[in-house]
Amino acid sequence: MAGKPTVPKNKKKWSKGKVQDKANNAVYFNAETLAKLEKEVPAYKLITPSVLVDRLRINGSLARSALRELAARGSIRLVSAHNSQLIYTRATAPVTAEA
């Protein structure tokens, strides 16, 4: 006596996964973003390319080049450079090493 194959009542519906919204970040500076960069960014305590991407809505390569420019001017100071993650802070008085 062969058993009758069981058929599930409802077929499993597979989830499509969560869809993340595409970030529409700028790929070049306009006057408003450039002014905000020069005015506000040197006052941030922690400055990374990720912070600039979030706050200024610019893409990563633009953020990295902006940070290099600000560091060359002396507006910000490099704290650590490890692989692709650069960490800057606001420029303060130069730190003197005590011996």
pLDDT digits (tens, 9 = 90+) for 24-78: 888 999 999 999 999 999 999 999 999 999 999 999 999 999 999 999 999 999 9
Tell me, what's the pLDDT at 59? 93
**Which DSSP symbol is given to 47?**
B
Q: 15-33: string of b/e by CB count within 10 Å (b at 16+)? A: eeeeeeeeeeeeeebeeeb
Q: For the segment 32-47, what is each residue's pLDDT rounded down to a tens digit?
A: 999 999 999 999 999 9
When computed from its CA atoms, the radius of gyration of the chain, rounded to whole angstroms, is 25
Query: What's the token pair of residue 3?
Result: 């058993």
Give the pLDDT of residue 78.
92
**Nearest to 46, CA basis, from 96, 74, 72, 85:** 85
Q: Can you give the pTM of this predicted structure?
A: 0.70
Does the pLDDT at position 97 exceed 90? no
- What span, in angstroms and rounded, lies between the C-alpha atoms of 37 and 34? 5
* Residue 36 neighbours by CB under 8 Å, 6+ apart: 56
